Amino acid sequence: MNHRRERIIAVLPAYNAAKTLERTVADIPRDWVDDIVVVDDASQDNTMEVARKLGLHTVVHPKNRGYGGNQKTCYRLALERRADIVVMVHPDHQYDPTAIPLLLAPILADAADAVFGSRMMTPGAARAGGMPLWKYLANKALTAVANRRLGLNLTEYHSGFRAYSRRVLATIPLEENSDDFVFDTEIILQLIARGFRISEVPITTRYFKDASSIGLRRSVVYGLAILRCLWNYQGKSSVSLTKELQTPL
């Protein structure tokens, strides 16, 4: 039952997600989400067939563009399909889509323009979900550097579970961003530079073989790209964090 006026679209940037897509979609609360969009980034498995069988709006990149490139297509499609709020969730079942209402709440209450699900907000939650120690420490270190540089107090910058208002996605020049993983950091810098309100909500995570493919090598490249991006950042270093909404709703 749709009890809102806002149209909510979930976007799933998929790459080799055939094994986990159905489980992820099954957990999306359909009384909150009006439409689901899958962008298949030229997967080598049958992600596209699974998505189409599930009846989801599915677009396939003819060539692999990368995680950021995939999100660019996701957001363009969501805007074309008249989204008021867009929720991005990784289709690898690492995040729990049943938390979507939690992510939407601050935007629906007009208390935030972007909401990040944070695995680091509840002490011990990320490790309890199986986040490897080296990833946990790297996440913490990069978060500390970013907070210092930007004058923020976020608990993580690397979540794959986020909600954005239509205004954010229609205003920010997403095409200027990287097609790679650093897209997720660049969009945060763009939010800050334009004075958008950011809120965080605590989420759980689960690490298992099919939910995690980023190894040490790729993580180091990702970490260095983030540092470069923070170093080059020229914008203002103040942002309105909606603090009262950083605790569980």
Ligand X SMILES: Nc1nc2c(ncn2[C@@H]2O[C@H](COP(=O)(O)OP(=O)(O)OP(=O)(O)O)[C@@H](O)[C@H]2O)c(=O)[nH]1
- Minimum CB separation from ligand X for residue 17, in Å? 5
Closer residue to ligand X (CB): 64 or 240: 64
Closer residue to ligand X (CB): 64 or 242: 64
Q: Does the protein bind ligand X through residue 96 (CB under 6 A)?
A: no
Q: Does the protein bind Mg ion through residue 94 (CB under 5 A)?
A: yes
Q: Does the protein bind ligand X through residue 97 (CB under 6 A)?
A: no
Contact set for ligand X, span 165-224 (CB under 6 A): 211-214
Question: Cα-Cα-Cα-Cα dihedral of 191, 42, 85, 152, to 10°?
Answer: -30
Q: Does the protein bind ligand X through residue 25 (CB under 6 A)?
A: no
- Minimum CB separation from ligand X for residue 111, in Å? 26
The torsion region of residue 124 among left (phi > 0), alpha (psi -120 to 50) and beta comes to: left
Contact 147, 153 (CB under 8 A): yes
Window contacting Mg ion (CB under 5 A); options: 21-29, 91-99, 180-188, 235-243 = 91-99
Q: Which residues contact 61 (CB under 8 A, 6 or more apart)?
A: 39, 40, 41, 42, 69, 70, 73
Closer residue to ligand X (CB): 157 or 233: 157
Q: Does the protein bind ligand X through residue 75 (CB under 6 A)?
A: no
The one-letter amino acid code at 178 reads S
Closer residue to ligand X (CB): 90 or 166: 90
Q: Does the protein bind ligand X through residue 92 (CB under 6 A)?
A: yes
> What letter would DSSP give residue 30?
T
The three-class DSSP label of residue 217 is helix
Contact 28, 91 (CB under 8 A): no
Residues 58 and 178: their CA atoms lie apart, in Å, by 23
Q: Which of 10, 15, 116, 192 binds ligand X (CB under 6 A)?
A: 15
Q: Does the protein bind ligand X through residue 47 (CB under 6 A)?
A: no
> What letter would DSSP give residue 126?
H
Residues 58 and 67: their CA atoms lie apart, in Å, by 16
Structure tokens at 37: 């969009």
Element (H, E) at 117: strand 114-118
- Minimum CB separation from ligand X for residue 163, in Å? 16
> What does the binding site for ligand X look like in residue numbers (CB under 6 A)?
13-15, 17, 41, 64, 66-67, 70, 90-92, 94, 135, 158, 160, 211-214
> What does the binding site for Mg ion look like in residue numbers (CB under 5 A)?
92, 94, 211-212
